[in-house]
């Protein structure tokens, strides 16, 4: 039996075209076990799925990875998405993107590009990504400016922030003022995948977050009408959890590189889940009937205190993957919630990090586990 929310229309499709990526970011949200190039869905199947998505009512497609530029057929995929009347957004590190290829992507009808930066400073940016890429990103942003003017390509600059770079928010915003995106997204790390493994080195302190909030508020006021700034706060410090993915199986669906459809990017961590593939089922069948999308739809699965909480239609009990990663129970109230029986796991972590940072400040150990297709032991800066 399907739940009522299966009749809702998803807004966006997140297409993870590949897990291949030239970067090794320490907070990558890709699964720790990544898929091989040989298992990737061919372009013809993706384009069929784009048309199915449009028929389902989906308006936007986010082409992501890994690094979607690793797909030699990206132009064909963008043209196919546009042919299905989807608004196309490319989420990219920019590594490997030349002016010539960007022109070809725009020619294929790319409408929006989201370019990631790791920091305002080269050395720290490259420490986080494990790759020499910062100067190229700056040159690329200047090339994107041309396409903003000539082809109305919309440009978002994205910067992930954490304990090592959040004190440079002023500099990061100043860099954005030079590169003039339409939108600047500053997002705190979310602790899944590789980020959870590096949490010790990434979690900001409460002092840093207070300062960050003040910096963001003043930049928003100063840049009003010039650059829109969106700030994603870290949910570990929030009173209530985020409505992850807008609620399980309510707004978004994600297809991984091999064609499995998932309600979110981290759902593979939850034991016992079966993800149906677009190779075998229509997107509509998957959205409305697949077991994975039904599992945490609606409210029947909710434990107390969520079941009788007045916020349950706002945050849907938080994030199922985070609940599993932090408590071992995917049906638990997200421990980020201050009302959750397991909230102590968050409080203890924050207390520990804040206390250690106060005591050792910049002498906190610099150990990173870099994203790689064959997991490495902990390593120092390359």
Which residues contact ligand FES by CB under 6 A?
244-245, 248, 264, 266-267, 319-322
**Residue 243 binds ligand SF4 (CB under 6 A):** no
What is the closest distance, in whole angstroms, from the C-beta atom of residue 263 to ligand FES in the complex?
7
Find which of ligand FES, ligand SF4, none residue 97 binds, CB within 5 to 8 Å per kind: none
Task: List 91's β-bridge partners, or say none.
Answer: 114
What are 309's strand-pairing partners? none
* 161 Cβ contact partners less than 8 Å away, ≥ 6 residues apart: 169, 172, 186, 187, 188, 189, 204, 212
Spatial distance between the Cα atoms of 101 and 48, rounded to a whole number of angstroms: 24
Judge contact between 220 and 214, C-beta under 8 A: no
Measured distance CA(62)–CA(282) in Å, rounded: 19
Of ligand SF4, ligand FES, none, which one sits near residue 244, judging by CB under 5 to 8 A according to partner kind? ligand FES
Closest-CA residue to 368 (of 233, 205, 200): 200
Nearer to ligand SF4, 203 or 337 (CB): 337
Cβ-based neighbours of 75, under 8 Å, separated by 6 or more: 104, 105, 107, 108
Cβ neighbours of residue 282 under 8 Å, at least 6 residues apart?
A: 52
Q: Which stretch binds ligand SF4 (CB under 6 A): 11-19, 30-38, 105-113, 302-310?
A: 302-310
Name which of ligand SF4, ligand FES, none residue 232 binds, using a CB cut-off of 5 to 8 Å depending on partner kind: none
Position 337 contacts ligand SF4 (CB under 6 A): yes
**Is residue 94 near ligand SF4 by the rule CB under 6 A?**
no
| Binding-site member from 334, 335, 353, 368 for ligand SF4 (CB under 6 A) | 334
Which partner in ligand SF4, ligand FES, none is near 292 (CB below 5 to 8 A by kind)?
none
Q: How far is the CB of 310 from ligand SF4 (least distance, A)?
A: 7
Among 5, 312, 356, 373, binds ligand SF4 (CB under 6 A): 312
Interface with ligand SF4, residue 240, by CB under 6 A = yes
Least distance (Å) from ligand SF4 to the CB of residue 293? 20
Q: Which residue has the tokens 């297709």?
A: 373
């Amino acid at each position: 039996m399907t739940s009522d929310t299966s009749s809702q229309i998803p807004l966006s499709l997140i297409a993870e075209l590949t897990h291949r990526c030239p970067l090794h970011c320490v907070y990558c949200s890709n699964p720790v076990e990544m898929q091989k190039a040989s298992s990737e869905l061919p372009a013809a199947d993706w384009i069929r799925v784009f048309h199915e998505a449009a028929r389902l009512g989906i308006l936007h497609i986010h082409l992501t990875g890994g690094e979607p530029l690793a797909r030699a057929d990206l132009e064909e995929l963008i043209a196919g998405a546009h042919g299905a009347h989807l608004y196309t957004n490319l989420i990219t590190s920019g590594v490997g993107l030349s002016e010539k290829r960007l022109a070809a992507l725009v020619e294929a009808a790319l409408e929006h590009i989201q370019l990631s930066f790791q920091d305002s400073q080269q050395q720290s940016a490259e420490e986080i990504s494990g790759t020499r890429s910062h100067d190229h990103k700056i040159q690329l942003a200047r090339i994107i400016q041309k396409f903003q003017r000539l082809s109305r390509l919309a440009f978002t600059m994205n910067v992930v922030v954490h304990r090592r770079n959040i004190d440079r928010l002023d500099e990061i915003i100043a860099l954005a003022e030079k590169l003039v995106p339409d939108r600047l997204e500053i997002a705190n790390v979310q602790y899944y995948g590789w980020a959870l493994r590096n949490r010790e080195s990434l979690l900001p302190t409460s002092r840093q977050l207070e300062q960050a909030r003040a910096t963001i508020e003043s930049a928003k006021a100063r840049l009003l009408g010039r650059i829109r700034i969106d700030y994603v706060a870290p949910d570990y410090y929030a009173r209530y959890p985020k409505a992850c993915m807008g609620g399980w199986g309510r707004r978004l669906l994600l297809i991984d590189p091999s064609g499995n459809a998932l309600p979110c990017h981290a759902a593979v961590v939850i034991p016992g889940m079966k993800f149906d593939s677009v190779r075998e089922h229509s997107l509509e069948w998957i959205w409305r009937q697949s077991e994975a999308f039904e599992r945490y739809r609606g409210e029947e699965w909710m434990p107390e205190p969520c079941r009788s909480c007045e916020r349950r239609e706002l945050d849907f009990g938080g994030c199922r993957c985070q609940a599993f990663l932090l408590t071992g129970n995917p049906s638990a109230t997200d421990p980020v919630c201050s009302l959750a029986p397991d909230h102590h796991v968050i409080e203890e972590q924050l207390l520990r990090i804040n206390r250690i940072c106060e005591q050792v400040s910049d002498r906190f150990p610099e150990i990173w586990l870099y994203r790689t297709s064959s997991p490495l032991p902990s390593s120092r800066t390359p």
